[in-house]
Amino acid sequence: MRLLLLYLAITFGLFASEADLLRLADEDPAVRKAAIETLAASGDQRLVGFFDEYAKNSGFTWKGRVVLALEPDGDLTPLHPLTREKLSPTALPRSTLSELPLTRKDKLAASTAVSRLRLADPDPAKRLTAVSRTGDAGGPQNRILLAPIAANDPDPRIRRSAAEGIALIDLASVDAAVRIAGAKTIEELASSRAGDALKVVRDKDADPAVRQAAVAALAAIDSHHTVVRTIQTVFSGLSLGSVLIVMALGLAITFGLMGVINMAHGEMLMVGAYAALLVQWFFAWALPPSLLPFYFPLGLVAGFISAGAVGWLLELTVIRHLYGRPLETLLATIGIGQVMIWSVRYGFGDNQAVVAPAWLTGGWEPMPDLVLPWNRLFIILVTVISVAAVWVLMNRTRLGLLLRATVQSRRTAASLGVDTRTIDGLTFSLGSGLAGAAGCALTLIGGLKPDMGQEFIIDSFLVVAAGGVGNLWGVVCAGLGLGIATKFLEPWTQAVFAKVLVLAAVILFLQVRPQGLFPPRGRLADV
């Protein structure tokens, strides 16, 4: 593997040659300058470190080759200029090494070489940083360095950043026409980076035409920002809404269809999240580290199953005895929720965190300045799948048919041979399992707390109330509406007041449509 890399590197000229290095010891400044330029063109990243030390007078020749020695005084240990291996086991007297000649011009050439080398870094992320720094630093020589990158770099983000840098440098030019051209480029790119420089130009520039161009460019940046902000708000609303939807789907099933109010539903979310944590711990303990990133799909399944199992147990032991007494059910499940919260706090303590898998870090950048994090996109995907699965289950399977039959008329269903008790248990555990899956998905964007479900339970009930009881599409619409409304209100009120306003809106909405968005018709309407 190493040999192969070496071979590749030599073929593509990524290695600096010893001969070029040795030319740094030449008496003629022109030869040294040419040598530094050749070295910079090689693109060997190890030269960055070398040139840094070289500019601090740490370069020497020893036994006919160039070496580094980092001791400021006293004896010197010669090091390989690129790899920094020790070339001599002991330190040698200073007189055995001869210093490389170094003038102010050589230092300047070395620092330019370092910039060029950084701009040629094979890692796109590092290259991007270098390109944006070079643009910010300004100066005509940097413009020369950036021009080929703006035209040829394989990465579009780096091309954009280089073009921004060139425009920024143009903006500082003495020629008014060049400054206008720079402002025009910024306007086309809608580059937010250039905002501060443009403001200076707008306020201070001598030429009115340039000031006008700067105003236009600033307007373009502003409108770009508005677009980005709107999309980002809608997106975070979508991701908040999708967690609410999965939660509320479970509630819509238990509350809407069965008429059972489960205040411990939020704790099912918590169970799912802790199940994901346990799966991750198991992976870390029993399996090789390379498999760790793949814990998540299994965690999702574990979250669904464990929360479903807890729900089934709950139905069997408590809720079954309270059918038809909604207020008592509410109270008993509040109690159950408290017991679950405090038991988990007893067992796990506060604030555990699941390490999000590496393939979900970072984000998708569909346009400049707009990053949509993968983990939130993934949560939206989980929601879409859950909604689809519930719809299919309800409308296309035998279990769904039995379930709907039991809900519509328990006696008729029972007389036709449906085991309504089992169906009740299954329905309840399905609803709880969905909350568990939501909890598992939630671990991607936040820490785990035993009372994490409390934050969502009220909002999910509002979703069910606003969406209409027992209606899938009502839940989806209300969930998205509530999520997006909250996120839109947050910036220009504060988070707390957004919550209050949304609550007031839901109450007012219920004044107009007491049965929710999609009211049930016929016999169900009496439930």
Partner 1 sequence: MTDRVYPNDLREFALAKAIRAGGWQAPVLWFDQAGLALLAFVLLFVMPMLHLAGLADMSLISQIGRYCALALVAIGLDLVWGYTGILSLCQAMFFTVGGYALGMFMCMHGPMDPKSGTIPMQLFVVTSDPNLVLPWFWQPFAWPWFAVAMVLLLPAIAAWLIGFFAFRSRIKGVYFSIITQAITIAAWLMFCRNDLMLCGTNGLSGIQILFGGDMRDPGMKMGLYLVSVLTMLGATLFALALVQTRFGRILVAIRDSESRVRFTGLSPVRYKTAIFVIAAILAGIGGALYAPQTQNINPSNMAASASILVVVWVAVGGRGTIIGPVVGTLAVCLFESFLTSGRTITLPFAPEWLNAVLKQFMSKMPQFWMLIIGMIFILVVLFLPDGLIGRWRALVAYVRGTSP
Residues that bind partner 1 (CB under 8 A): 261, 318, 321-322, 326-328, 330-332, 334-343, 345-346, 454, 458, 461-462, 465, 494, 496-497, 499-500, 503, 507, 510-511, 514
Q: In what order do the strands lie in the sheet with 65-68?
A: 65-68, 59-62, 98-99
- For residue 395 the two structure tokens come to 């409308």
Judged by beta carbon, residue 210 or residue 435, the one nearer partner 1 is 435
Residue 424 Cβ, how far from partner 1 at the closest point, in Å? 18
Minimum gap (Å) between residue 276 Cβ and partner 1: 24
Contact between residue 80 and residue 65 where contact means Cβ atoms under 8 Å apart: no
Q: Which is nearer to partner 1, 372 or 524 (CB)?
A: 524
Strands (E), 114-180: none
C-beta closer to partner 1: residue 443 or 460: 460
Q: How far is the CB of 84 from partner 1 (least distance, A)?
A: 53
- For tokens 């130009």, name the residue: 201
Residue 161 or 333: which CB sits closer to partner 1?
Answer: 333
Nearest distance, CB of residue 194 and partner 1, angstroms = 35
Tell me the HSE value of 301 on the side-chain side, using a 13 A CA sphere: 4
Spatial contact of 405 and 413, defined as CB atoms under 8 Å apart: yes
Bridge partner list, 76:
92
Cβ-based nearer residue to partner 1, 83 or 511: 511
Please list, in sequence order, all residues whose beta carbon lies within 8 angstroms of the beta carbon of residue 294, skipping any fewer than 6 positions away.
283, 357
Least Å distance between CB 333 and partner 1?
9
- Residue 142: how many CB atoms within 10 A of its CB? 21
Distances (CA, A) of 256 to 63, 189, 250, 464: 86, 51, 9, 8
HSE-up (13 A, CA, CB side) for residue 462? 24
DSSP symbol at 80: -
Token digits of residue 304:
């669904």
Nearer to partner 1, 359 or 497 (CB): 497
C-beta of 364: minimal distance to partner 1 in Å?
33
- Looking at the Cβ atoms of 285 and 346, the one nearer to partner 1 is 346
CB 12 within 8 A of CB 6: no
Number of neighbours of residue 391 by Cβ within 10 angstroms: 15
**Please, are residues 294 and 357 in contact by the beta-carbon 8 Å criterion?**
yes
113 vs 244, which CB is nearer to partner 1? 244
SS3 462: helix
- The minimum distance between CB 263 and partner 1, in angstroms, equals 9
* CB nearer partner 1, residue 197 or residue 457: 457
CB of 507 to partner 1, least distance (A): 6
DSSP helix/strand/coil, 67: strand
In whole angstroms, give the CA distance from residue 479 to residue 356: 25
Residue of 155, 107, 105 whose CA lies nearest to 132: 155
Smallest distance from the beta carbon of 155 to partner 1, in angstroms?
45
> Smallest distance, Å, CB 494 to partner 1?
8
3-class state of residue 75 by DSSP: coil
3-state SS string for 302-333: HHHHHHHHHHHHHHHHCHHHHCCCHHHHHHHH
Nearer to partner 1, 39 or 341 (CB): 341
CB of 285 to partner 1, least distance (A): 27
E strand residue ranges, 87-236 = 98-99
Quick one: 322 or 418, whose CB is closer to partner 1?
Answer: 322
Phi, psi (degrees; rounded to nearest 5) at 60: -135, 165
**Nearest distance in Å: CB 81, partner 1:** 58
By beta-carbon proximity to partner 1, the closer residue of 81 and 256 is 256
